[in-house]
Amino acid sequence: MGGLFADLKKAETYQALLAELVGTGLLTLAALLAGTPYAVALILAALVYGLGPISGAQLNPAVTLGLLVARRQPVVKGVLYLVAQVAGALLAGKIAPAIGDLSSYSAGKPVGEFVGAGLLVLTVVAVSDKWVPKAGGGVAIGAALGAGLLLSNGVLNPAVALAMGLGRSPALWAAALGGVAFAALFDLLSVKQGQEQQEETHEEEADQKPAQDPTPQTAVPSYRLSTPVMYASPSTHVTVPLARPGTSPSTKTKHPAPTRSLWSSVADLFSRKPKQQARREPSTRPASGD
């Protein structure tokens, strides 16, 4: 429950409620005094740019109900938005006669109110989901409201309908139902579109990955023989340790060749025994003078 009412502890929530009250009141004044769809659409576009950063500039119970159904709006905050919008419209209805003459107005047919409000809510949800660029959000929402008003010849706003005294007309219930239905439809379509985009993203990532070589590479063993190899020569033994695989010749340990001293060479020279000549045996061959 604490998370449900967490918005009540924030100052931004009350700023947003005040923005919804003032914005809905100004929109109601345009509908009561101007009486043309163009004026209402233009002022809505202006309010989206002016109050959008504060409250989202919903300014319409049908829009708020649609956002609640599409889970784009917290429940408690959405209910407070509905109260602020109705209060702003009723307040504007009391102020409008002091400003000027009221225009003639009437509610549209149920189907017209349903479709017109649905078109408006569809555009608002698309803007809130950033399907429409932020710079064009006000233009898109204002154009949707103008097109819906021209299409239905209705009100498309339950709060404005209450200010006009049309509480029992289709401008109240048909517009609210249209907002809910089209928001749910957009939510369903956007989920499917999001899944398709994720699948396309996964396919692109899979195509961009380099093909892996299925042949496993044999790892080079990193080892060194612990037993040195003995190389024998007639005069001395030289032990040459094996270098570790992968080392450069410059890093191998060099052992200088053993050298004999000069005195050892001289002593060997005098200690050598003279070669004994082979003894000749007397010849048994007769002399040539015989």
Task: Give the alpha-carbon dihedral of 58, 60, 65, 69, to 10 degrees.
Answer: -40
C-alpha to C-alpha distance for 237 and 257, rounded to whole angstroms = 10
Q: Say if 260 falls within a structural domain.
A: no
Q: Say if 58 falls within a structural domain.
A: yes
Q: Say if 150 falls within a structural domain.
A: yes
pLDDT exceeds 80 at position 214: no
pLDDT exceeds 90 at position 59: yes
**Using an 8 Å Cβ cutoff, are 182 and 66 in contact?**
yes
Q: Say if 2 falls within a structural domain.
A: no
pLDDT exceeds 60 at position 154: yes
Q: Which domain holds residue 144?
A: 8-200
- The lowest-confidence range among 70-74, 120-124, 161-165, 215-219 is 215-219
How high is the pLDDT of residue 117? 94
Q: Which CATH number do you get for residue 168?
A: 1.20.1080.10
Give the total number of structural domains in the chain.
1
Q: Say if 280 falls within a structural domain.
A: no
How high is the pLDDT of residue 122? 92
pLDDT exceeds 80 at position 124: yes
pLDDT exceeds 60 at position 275: no
Q: Which residue has the higher pLDDT, 140 or 1?
A: 140
C-alpha to C-alpha distance for 145 and 21, rounded to whole angstroms = 19
Q: Say if 142 falls within a structural domain.
A: yes
69 Cβ contact list (under 8 Å, min separation 6)? 180, 183, 184, 187
Q: Say if 252 falls within a structural domain.
A: no
Predicted TM-score (pTM) above 0.75: no
Do β-strands 229-232 and 237-240 pair in parallel, antiparallel, or remain unpaired?
antiparallel
pLDDT exceeds 90 at position 201: no
How high is the pLDDT of residue 177? 95
> CB-based burial of residue 278 (10 Å sphere; 0-12 exposed, 13-18 middle, 19+ buried)?
exposed
How high is the pLDDT of residue 229? 47
Q: Say if 84 falls within a structural domain.
A: yes
The segment with the largest mean pLDDT, out of 16-20, 67-71, 285-289, is 16-20
